[in-house]
Structure 1
Amino acid sequence: MEVVRAATLDDWEPLFDLIERSGFGLTSLRLTKAQLHERLEWSHFAFTRKSERPGGEPYVFVMEDLATGALVGTSCIFAKTGGYEPFYAYEVVTEAKASEELDVRASVRTLQLKRIHDGPTEIGSLFLLPEFRGQGRGSLLSIARFSMIAQRPGRFASEVIAEMRGVSDAQGHSPFWEAVGRHFFHVDFPVADALSTVSKKFIEDLMPQHPIYWDLLPAPVCAVIGQVHDQTRPAQTMLQREGFASRGLVDIFDAGPILHSPRDAIRSVASCRNPSVRTGDVPADAKRQIVTTSAARFRAVHSQVHWIDDGHVILPETTRRALLLNAADKVWTLG
């Protein structure tokens, strides 16, 4: 059985070992040990804070295999993007052009740089070891985060985004980067990808300020704009089921799509319920749902849930133990 829980400082070294296996393209996981330790310190503050106003703090989650105690996955919520350093993206803009003399009408697409200073909440940094993918584990690792948002909506912006990993190969070769970014930054894609987690000043210093014309790019490059990495397709499908959709923004490095949803319109946020737990037997055909504890000591599992009425549920004993529930605790259910 696996549990998703709030990361602690004790997870520092095993979590670093885990993210070292995540490969290229997951920008927010390109961290040094010192940067990861700082993120975990901020995450501890985020989970235990009393105020409700969203800042730039991260909420770091880990998936633990309870049989071995090993960390097998991680995900994160960044309460707010932008601020001291803006959030950068390309917006795909389509403009109608016409010539009466030539009797020509055409649509011209450009990529225009956007700087977002007072930005939305971002979910990201999702990585699950390949051997643990399947059987709903990826869904648990991703969707459990929405319980946190449902419980404490004031800590998060009214808009939520997810940057999807764009197309690149096993060596970190990104077609879009080679056609655009390399000409201005003069470094390999993984170098710029990693540096952007430390500072974004180099983006402002070197990024082209004028629109980039889509039709001047090679056809194979145009084909990957707004497309996701093969390994990211399940995550994209999952978020689309939650109500996330593209609004024409793509990542400035690999052109992966940026998905959006109003916070309160996310399916799992809107349907999240907070029942009390009762003792009793759980029928064999009871519905399976994601069940979480309260935000301050967050834990989540996939479990059978037997609803007695709108305000009370019975959970299997294994679930109660995995969630470290006390007799009077309430839980939150998703799905």
Structure 2
Amino acid sequence: MWIVRAVKIDDLDALFALVQSATRGLTTLQLDRNRLLDRIEQSVFAFSRTGTSPRGEPYVLVLTNDETGELVGTSTVYTKTGGYQPFYAYQITHSEHHSELLNISHTRTSLQLQRIHDGPSEIGSLFLRGIYRGEGWGRWLSLSRFALIAMRPGRFADGMIAEMRGRQDSDGRVPFYEAIAQKFIPVDFNVVDTMSTISKQFIEEMMPMHPIYLDLLPQEIRDGIGKVHRETEPALKLLKSEGFSETDLVDIFDGGPVVRCETKQINAVRRTQPCQIAKIADQPLPGRSDTILSSDANEFTSVLTAVSSDGDQLTIDRNAALALSLDVGSTCYTMPSRPEMPSRPKTT
């Protein structure tokens, strides 16, 4: 059965093979084997620790077949941005200027480099192998993070952000980077993209602290600021449907937007509700498999399945019960996979 679960140390080989296939521009997945192992170890510790305050650790999830061991997707929640190394972003600012002598006014738009040390939580590192896209699995993999947040609310900050991938040409060129950052850091985009996952010190050393005035940039560059890569458009649409909205922040390298929502106000977090298992059916239930059912089996596990309910009492099939280590009387968490979905059918 396909499940989304917490990453394990034993997943290193399969997860490394997966992230090796991720395209450039997915910054948080540009990891060598040792740094990926470090992230997995941090995640394993995060799931096991008893403290509840956010410390910046990653919670890494993987989409895998629990029978064959095939691993085809991953996503992550970072409990806090900033800290010893700040979170860097450009803030889009506007200022009004007027000349009495010339009798003219002008609105000036600029990019101001921001350093955020005590920032919000962040979702990121979402990647699904191409042949599995288009079947709702990407949505499941993404929304499972919000089920996790609902189940462990104290582990995350009051706000949640996502850095969306900015525009990139078909040949791999990143126009925003070439127009701004590369003037001050004369290396390829792929180099800074990868290095920023190791250390951000070079940003402090090389990037200008003064505003970047958009009037000095070509129109095509200005038009691309805050726009996403075509492959990121579905992810942005999903997050907006869950309550996220664009902010005045953009990525300093590719100009992609930063979206944000108060953690408790994320639609998927709000519609994740505790339920009790009333019955386990021997056969699959009728209807669409469009409910994300989660438990703390192996720290966190979710399945995409059909359920039947009467209030907070659920009927699920035996395969889901086995995958989630549930029995009659067990507590689990249920989330309709889409905000507009009607209530679950009642048990007959």
Separation in 2, partners of 1:99, 1:295 = 67
Q: Which amino acid aligns with 2:188?
A: D
Structure 2 equivalent of residue 71 of structure 1: 71
Structure 1 equivalent of residue 242 of structure 2: 242
Q: Which amino acid aligns with 2:325?
A: L
Q: Could you say what secondary structure the match of 1:291 adopts?
A: strand
Aligned partners of 1:289 and 1:303 also within 8 Å: yes
Separation in 2, partners of 1:67, 1:300 = 15
Aligned partners of 1:47 and 1:296 also within 8 Å: no
Separation in 2, partners of 1:120, 1:296 = 27
Aligned partners of 1:287 and 1:306 also within 8 Å: no
- Superposed CA deviations along residues 158-207 of structure 1, whole A, max 9, x for unmatched, are 01000001111354310000001111111000100000000000000001
User: 300-309 or 95-104: which moved more?
Assistant: 95-104
**CA apart distance, 1:278:** 1.9
Aligned partners of 1:28 and 1:124 also within 8 Å: yes
Q: Could you say what secondary structure the match of 1:10 adopts?
A: helix
Structure 2 equivalent of residue 322 of structure 1: 323
Separation in 1, partners of 2:168, 2:297 = 36
Structure 2 equivalent of residue 180 of structure 1: 180
Q: Which amino acid aligns with 1:210?
A: H
Separation in 2, partners of 1:173, 1:183 = 15
List alignment gaps of at least 5 residues for structure 1.
none
- The 1:222–1:295 alpha-carbon spacing in structure 2 relative to 1, beyond 3 Å, is farther
Structure 1 equivalent of residue 286 of structure 2: 284
Q: Could you say what secondary structure the match of 1:279 adopts?
A: strand
Aligned residues between the structures:
334
Aligned partners of 2:123 and 2:162 also within 8 Å: yes
**CA apart distance, 1:67:** 5.8
**CA apart distance, 1:279:** 1.5
Separation in 2, partners of 1:320, 1:169 = 46
Q: Could you say what secondary structure the match of 2:180 adopts?
A: helix
**CA apart distance, 1:305:** 1.5
| TM-score normalised by L of structure 1 | 0.96
Aligned partners of 2:4 and 2:302 also within 8 Å: yes
- The 1:127–1:267 alpha-carbon spacing in structure 2 relative to 1, beyond 3 Å, is same
**CA apart distance, 1:236:** 0.4
- Superposed CA deviations along residues 21-61 of structure 1, whole A, max 9, x for unmatched, are 11111111111100010111110011111100100111011
Aligned partners of 1:149 and 1:156 also within 8 Å: yes
Structure 2 equivalent of residue 106 of structure 1: 106
Aligned partners of 1:227 and 1:257 also within 8 Å: yes
List alignment gaps of at least 5 residues for structure 2.
337-348
Q: Could you say what secondary structure the match of 1:145 adopts?
A: helix
Q: Could you say what secondary structure the match of 1:240 adopts?
A: helix
- The 1:283–1:14 alpha-carbon spacing in structure 2 relative to 1, beyond 3 Å, is closer
**CA apart distance, 1:283:** 5.5
Structure 2 equivalent of residue 272 of structure 1: 272
- Superposed CA deviations along residues 87-107 of structure 1, whole A, max 9, x for unmatched, are 000000011222233332222
Structure 1 equivalent of residue 341 of structure 2: none
Structure 1 equivalent of residue 189 of structure 2: 189
Whether 1:255 and 2:233 are equivalent positions in the alignment is no
**CA apart distance, 1:294:** 2.2
Separation in 2, partners of 1:23, 1:283 = 38
Structure 1 equivalent of residue 340 of structure 2: none
Structure 2 equivalent of residue 297 of structure 1: 299
Separation in 1, partners of 2:290, 2:154 = 29
- The 1:158–1:304 alpha-carbon spacing in structure 2 relative to 1, beyond 3 Å, is same
- The 1:182–1:295 alpha-carbon spacing in structure 2 relative to 1, beyond 3 Å, is farther
Separation in 1, partners of 2:268, 2:310 = 21
**CA apart distance, 1:226:** 0.3
Separation in 2, partners of 1:202, 1:249 = 20
| TM-score normalised by L of structure 2 | 0.92
Separation in 2, partners of 1:315, 1:171 = 48
Structure 2 equivalent of residue 22 of structure 1: 22
Aligned CA-pair RMSD: 1.6
User: 5-14 or 103-112: which moved more?
Assistant: 103-112
**CA apart distance, 1:76:** 0.4
Q: Could you say what secondary structure the match of 1:204 adopts?
A: helix
**CA apart distance, 1:127:** 0.5
Structure 2 equivalent of residue 312 of structure 1: 313
- Superposed CA deviations along residues 246-275 of structure 1, whole A, max 9, x for unmatched, are 111000010000000001000011121010
Q: Which amino acid aligns with 2:240?
A: Q
- The 1:33–1:261 alpha-carbon spacing in structure 2 relative to 1, beyond 3 Å, is same
